[in-house]
Structure 1
Amino acid sequence: MSLLEGRVAIVTGSGRGVGRAYAIMLAQHGAKVLVNDLGSSAAGAGADQTPAQEVVATIQAAGGQAAVNTSDVADWKGAQEMVQQAIDTFGGLDILINNAGILRDRMLVNMTEDEWDAVVRVHMKGTFAPLHHAANYWRTRSKAGHPVDARVINTTSHSALFANIGQTNYAAAKAGIATMSIVAARELARIGVTVNAIAPRANTRMTEGLREWTPEQLERRKPEWIAALVTWLASPESKHISGRVFEAWGNGYAVMESWQHGPHTEASLDPTELGPRITEIAKYARANAGIDPNTWLNP
């Protein structure tokens, strides 16, 4: 069954890794895909059109429709031009998948200002700018009386959700994207747009060298497991799902449950009274979740 026949999608950072898998599977299900990739290294250096061109060629060889875009998604004008290219090339826009990203890992005491700025720029602004321009396109159509049934899928990370050391810049940016997705879902619901986020686990150049994987683990870390969920979230079938953050890989999919209110105590204007109170509620609060190797999501 084809889930996306006639729908138009943008996938940022889709020249390699999970983004490539998204673009190809969306096309297999009938979507016309604008393949965005700057072609930089995992650290964000350089530019090369070849990865995006190869993905487009793969889609076209299978009978699908695709086009190349090499905009810097964190550039305001570049993001606007990317959205407009999809509209001009394929006649509209129904799906935006924000996937582009870079890594510059370092312990926070050693992290440079440039390493912070570069990662936050690509992830945070590189998600917000395309979302802003796509949302304005959908709002304009809605105001003109055209029905809108659009999808946005943003990319957060387990590093953000579970606070991985050595990634202050990356984790902070990805946590911001998770919250951004929930806010955007609430704001855009009235015009027919759903917004969700995924925290993918896959073996790509972004995760190479982290550890040794068994053949079974590598199988479960194939990007196609994540692409299947992304494809469904991009489809009309997912209209009732919005404002959610999903963990995703070959071992399964899980819905994250956001921040929750925990134990509480009465307020006081006297700080000398607070020691026993705060100690007590902290004692009964659940520990922050972590990347636990014994959980079902990380065998």
Structure 2
Amino acid sequence: MMRKLITAAAQMGPIAKLETRADTVGRLLEMMREAKGRGCELVVFTELALTTFFPRWMIEDEAELDSYYETEMPSAATQPLFDEAKKLGIGFYLGYAELRVENGVKRRFNTSILVNQKAQIISTYRKVHLPGHSEPQPGRDFQHLEKRYFEPGDLGFPVVKGFGGNMGMAICNDRRWPETYRVMGLQDVEMVMLGYNTPFGHVGEQAMDSLTLFHNHLSMQAGAYQNATWVVGTAKCGNEEGSKMGGQSVIIAPSGEIVAQAVTVEDEVITAACDLDLGKRYKETVFDFAAHRRPEHYGLIVERTGAIPPKS
């Protein structure tokens, strides 16, 4: 049996600070049409796909800050994506900055949505693992202020039925944490979609920063293999307002193997025919959780090694 889902990762090159939503959505539409022309049923866009990566700057004017967020989805600016998706019969993952007002309080999230072939939002995810700082750091050409501009996601890691399989989402730094994949793996996830905007030099330690692209793939390949799932990682990359960001968008099989990879740091569509049943074969053998996983012993192991985490 084969459940083949032809999937695209739609990598984006830089988005200029003054680039309009209409121009950016136009680029997304072009890649959506290219993906459909290759037979794709699903296209995965990147994190914060509608604007430049604004957390690199200290923004003190609230009106300016608010301009980077979406207060509804679809919005007037993004409605063309939904209209074209419905016309073409293709689904999409889209990352964006979300602004909600609850009881007069503004809440800001780094968010992604999954939209089916009928242009219906079937899942929403909010980034849990926020990197960077809440206050500007001295000596940096560019800041990384995600903790200032977003709060941690409050929706968990949902897995939903769609596209013939079990679909999950993550965003950027989430990919580095094994909990991300395992929480979804325990829900029998079959494809994890994630977008990222990853600058070089974000750690500030040259030896570590030189491994940015290696760590990017390492984390996603490990998550795919250890949870027997496809992983689609889509970058925003290139030299964006002077900040250089890594590309190498990939589609990774449940074996941990990269089956498609971008070769530019520009707008580029890569595709793969993803057999969702490939993960099932791993889940019935090496990663049969019921047969081999022993969570009832984990606490005992931690206690005996003295590595009990402090209570919060």
Q: Which has a greater percent of strand?
A: 2
Identify the TM-score tier after normalising by the shorter chain. Answer: 0.3 to 0.5
Q: Which has a greater percent of helix?
A: 1
Which one has the largest radius of gyration? Answer: 1
TM-score (norm 2): 0.38
TM-score (norm 1): 0.39
Report which structure shows greater RCO (CA 8 Å, sep ≥6).
Answer: 2
